[in-house]
């Protein structure tokens, strides 16, 4: 992992409206928690967790430009490939390891999830739901499943089953549709699998 040193921190920009999945994630994170944000991007979630949860957050990001921008804003971010560099963190190093729309972009999401469950006491994953009714209709009428610029297709049920096969406990799931978070789900998946555009999962080993 490449380490960058912060020389002159720029002020944090808190004026940008938070994403809905970020709001849901912030509600799942306990105050003062140690957090690793995998694929942290522009650091928006990191800033929100620091502000709302007083969390001690570190970021892991593969894009060097995004890393530099985060560091220039005073965020603790290292450059690295999640599929390779997560292995370097010790057991239980964090209270939460978070993949905010990052897990299904990886080549081996199951391996990354398994490693995250070793590194963190909890794992939070947000993802797009490929089982949403509009996506099903698009597949039915277009005859196409994949759009190459999107994440790997994954439904709410796909992810829940994968987690259970890996012996991870689904502590909480929250569906998101039309920019609003719905009632949490855990065992009853069918409604979220059909009608959630996104979902956020809280898992424990």
| Both tokens assigned to 138 | 């698009």
Does pLDDT of 143 surpass 50?
A: yes
Does residue 190 or residue 93 have the better pLDDT? 93
Residue 95: which residues within 8 A CB-CB, separation 6 or more? 29, 30, 33, 34, 35, 120, 121, 122
Task: Compute CA distances 84 → 111, 128, 150, whole Å.
Answer: 10, 24, 22
Q: What is the pLDDT of residue 133?
A: 66
> What is residue 11's predicted lDDT score, i.e. its pLDDT?
45
**What are residue 198's DSSP bridge partners?**
128, 176
| Cα 8–chain centre separation | 29
**pLDDT at position 4, please?**
41
What's the chain's average pLDDT? 85
Domain count along the chain: 1
Angle between helix 44-53 and 20-28 (nearest 10): 40
Residue span of the structural domain in which 69 resides: 17-204
| Residue at 8 is within a domain | no
Is residue 3 a part of any domain in this protein? Answer: no
Please check whether residue 29 lies inside any domain of the structure: yes
Instruction: Please report which confidence band the pLDDT of residue 25 belongs to, taking 50, 70 and 90 as the band edges.
Output: very high
The reply to whether 2 falls in a domain is no
- The model's pTM: 0.84
* Average pLDDT for 29-55: 97
Choice among 7-11, 46-50, 95-99 with the minimum mean pLDDT: 7-11
Structure tokens at 67: 């890393």
CATH number of 109's domain: 3.40.50.150
> Where in 74-192 does DSSP place strands (E)?
77-79, 94-100, 120-128, 169-177, 180-181
* CA proximity to 204, closest of 129, 101, 116: 116
Confirm whether 66 is domain-assigned: yes
């Amino acid at each position: 992992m490449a380490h960058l040193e912060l020389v002159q921190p720029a002020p944090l920009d808190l004026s940008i409206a938070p994403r809905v999945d970020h709001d849901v994630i912030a509600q799942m994170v306990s105050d003062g928690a140690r957090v690793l944000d995998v694929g942290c991007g522009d650091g928006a979630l990191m800033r929100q967790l620091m502000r709302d949860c007083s969390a001690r957050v570190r970021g892991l990001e593969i894009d060097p430009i995004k890393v530099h921008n985060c560091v220039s804003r005073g965020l603790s971010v290292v450059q690295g490939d999640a599929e390779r560099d997560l292995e370097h963190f010790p057991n239980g190093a964090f209270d939460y390891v978070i993949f905010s729309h990052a897990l299904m972009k990886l080549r081996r999401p199951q391996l990354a999830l398994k490693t995250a469950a070793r590194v963190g006491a909890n794992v939070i994953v947000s993802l797009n739901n490929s089982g949403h009714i509009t996506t099903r209709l698009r597949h039915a009428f277009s005859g196409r499943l994949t759009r190459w610029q999107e994440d790997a297709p994954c439904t709410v049920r796909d992810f829940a089953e994968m987690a259970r096969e890996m012996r991870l406990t689904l502590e909480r799931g929250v569906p998101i549709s039309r920019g609003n978070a719905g009632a949490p789900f855990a065992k009853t998946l069918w409604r979220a699998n059909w009608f959630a555009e996104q979902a956020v999962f809280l898992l424990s080993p």
